[in-house]
Structures are given as C-alpha cells and as structure tokens.
Amino acid sequence: MKKEGKKKIWSEYQKEIADDKFYFVRSCIRQTFFPGSDTAYLKILRDVLGKDVYEDPNHTTCTGIAYHTEVVPFSTIQTVVARNFALMRENGYENYTPSCVTSFGIYSEILDTWHHFPEEKQRTRDYLRKATGREFEEPANLVHTSDVIYKFRNEIAAKAKYRLVNKETGEPLKVVDHIGCHYSKMFPSKGVGGAEYPQVLAGLVETFGGEVIDYPERRHCCGFGFRQYFVQANRGYSISASKKKFASMEPYKPDLIITNCPGCNYFMDRWQYALEEMEGKTYGANGEGIPVLSYEEVAGIVLGFDPWKMGLQMHQTDIEPLLKKIGVEYNPDDKYKGPNGEDLGLPKGLKFIKD
C-alpha cells in the first residue's frame, strides 16, 4: 500500500478529548526523574488555559510496571485502577487523564477487558468493596495528558513566546517524535492518528513551527520494554533498541526528540549518556547528544517558562544547545539553583555528553 493511502486510513483514527474538568493522575517514574514535567503540565492547563484540573492526594500509581513484570496480578491491578476511578467520581470528576503512557495503556486494557468480560468487572467491584468499601464507575472520557496538550495546541501556540525555529537560520527545527508503544500500538483506536501515524506529537510539533522527521525506525521501541531493562542481564537488549533508533535518526540531524511517555523520555535521554560512556559515540551535531523533552516541556519552552524551574536540568543529555537554537532567554547560572535561589552544586557523578 502507498504511504499516502496508509496515512489517510490512519488519519481517520480520532478520539474524543474532553474540554475541561480533568482528573489528573501522576506517573510513578515521571515525577521522580523529571519532576518539573508534571508541574509544567498543571501550570499550562491551569494558568495558561484556565482549565479545572483536580489532583487527588489519595490517588496511587496504576502499578503498571509491576503488572508488566508479573509481580502484580491482573486482578490486583484492576482493583487498584477501580479505586482510582472511585476517587475520581467521589471528587465530582469524570474525565480521567493519566500522565503516563504505561498507565494509559493499562486503563485502556482494563476498560476493554471489562467490556468483553463483564464478570471481571463484577469481580473487581467485589474486591474493591471488600477492601475499601468503595464503588466505582468508568470514566466518561479517558485520554492521555499528551492528548490534552494536543487538543489545545492552537491555543498554546497563540500564546507562545517562541517557536520551534532556529533563530539564526529561520529554518524549522528538525524534530523526532517518539510515541510510547502503549499509547496506541495495543489499542489503535485510542490514539489520535492510530498506531502508525500518531498525530499527537507530530501535530504539536508542526503547530509550534517545527518539522517532523520520518526516519526508518520511527516506530521502534525506545528500549525500555520493562523486563528488558529491569533484569540487569537483559539490559543489553534495552540499550541496543535505543541505539538502533539513534543510529537511524542520526543522518537526519535532529535538533530534538519529543516523547509522550515517561519511560521513553527517560531511556532516550539516559541511554545517550550510557552509549557515550560505553562506546564513545554521540548521535547529535558537534559531538553533543540529541535533547529529549516531553510534550509539556516543549510547550513550556515555547510559552517562555523558565527552563530551570521546569526542571530541564534533570535531563542528562544537555538541553542548552536547543535553548540556544530557539533563542530562549535564560540564565545559565541558575541551572543548579534550588527553589529559593540557593546553590545546589553540580550533581555528583553526572556527566553531560558534551557541556
């Protein structure tokens, strides 16, 4: 089939994304590795777009990582998810927005299971009632937080201070979009643009003025793959998958990798460092790495948020070359300052590929 024809078919994969009143659910790893990304998301939604986003201190992780590594059984994860759904309704919300792609995949899988096997849903009801005395209802709308940013991309672009354009040359920045596998590979109808041509990040990049690169390994896994990484002996598989992607995108000279999954963000960022340490090889221009950012970090940059308040110094692959290309005004001296301006010192043992 011709690529154009395929693109047309996938473009029919659209989904409903709620407009307001979001119940926000955190990711377990994202807030640990990139603590500013959730904050940036909430700031964009609340302060820039004026949306009602509720974050419940009682909600928990979806336990997806433990489920995918067979530590948590399916009945347990269903009950944990049902509890989060119960909390959402108790707080008067019905639009569920997980910030993690693994979680989004888990929620989609469980809702689909309940649809096909109502007895599983009934059993989950019984477990939840026995364990917590709670009742739950499914969300009216379940979307990933990147879908929400995608929906409001034009509003964000209208308020943007910067564009994804090289300030010196006026050329659009070349951007690699990497969609988490669990966003739409398992349930293509749950992703904007389906599994092969997801628009959720590409649409964002184009609206912000960048150019999306279509490279051979575009749909390849980031390398996380749960047990490829968690079992140390398997980590060679994980880093090999990432390396394959970097080598495939390298000839296109990307300025930025944008991801919508905390795991992808982490692995595409950290494995560049590890590959430099192992093989002395970097994949960006001038011996640098290719900066890796999440969708709301990119949205935060174009909106003119302070990069260090967004926690962009937590990325191991230095993002300063990108800030310079865009022409972002920032203070390099504030990079390692705490919230009250105190000097935190250089992180011990951290080595940027090229500073």
Partner 1 sequence: MIDFGYTPMPITVHNMDKADLSLAKWLAERDETFNHCISCGSCAATCTAGKFTDFSFRELTHSIRRGEISKAFSESEKCMLCGKCILVCPRNVNTRNIVMLIRKANQIFKP
Count Cβ atoms below 10 Å from residue 311 Cβ, excluding itself.
Answer: 19
Q: Which of 49, 186, 247, 285 binds partner 1 (CB under 8 A)?
A: 247
Q: Does 274 bind partner 1 (CB under 8 A)?
A: yes
Cα 164 to Cα 214: distance, rounded to the nearest angstrom = 17
Q: Which of 74, 230, 237, 330 binds partner 1 (CB under 8 A)?
A: 237
- Find the shortest distance in angstroms from Cβ 228 to partner 1: 10
CA 232 to chain centre: 24
Structure tokens at 235: 């980590």
Closer CB to partner 1, 47 or 279, in the complex = 279
Closer CB to partner 1, 275 or 299, in the complex = 275
Beta pairing partners, 55: 24
Q: Does 221 bind partner 1 (CB under 8 A)?
A: no
Closer CB to partner 1, 49 or 274, in the complex = 274
Q: Does 47 bind partner 1 (CB under 8 A)?
A: no
Cite the DSSP H helix spans in the chain: 3-11, 30-33, 35-43, 64-68, 74-90, 101-116, 118-132, 145-151, 153-158, 181-184, 202-207, 227-230, 235-249, 262-279, 295-302, 320-326
User: Which stretch in 155-163, 171-179, 241-249, 291-299 sits in contact with partner 1 by CB under 8 A?
Assistant: 241-249
Q: Which of 14, 32, 189, 240 binds partner 1 (CB under 8 A)?
A: 240
User: Which stretch in 82-90, 123-131, 269-277, 329-337 sits in contact with partner 1 by CB under 8 A?
Assistant: 269-277
- Residue 97 near residue 148 (C-beta atoms within 8 A): yes
Residue type, 289: G
Q: How many residues does the chain have?
A: 355
Closer CB to partner 1, 163 or 185, in the complex = 185
Cα 227 to Cα 237: distance, rounded to the nearest angstrom = 10
Q: Which of 9, 71, 278, 350 binds partner 1 (CB under 8 A)?
A: 278
Q: Which of 118, 236, 327, 332 binds partner 1 (CB under 8 A)?
A: 236
- Which is nearest to 352 in space by CA: 313, 318, 312, 314? 318
Q: Does 239 bind partner 1 (CB under 8 A)?
A: yes
Q: Does 277 bind partner 1 (CB under 8 A)?
A: yes
CA distance to 135, 240, 308, 328, per residue, from 237 (Å): 42, 5, 33, 37
Q: Does 219 bind partner 1 (CB under 8 A)?
A: no
Site string for partner 1, 280-319 (x = CB under 8 A): x---------------------------------------
Residues that bind partner 1 (CB under 8 A): 216, 232-237, 239-240, 243-244, 247-248, 274-275, 277-280
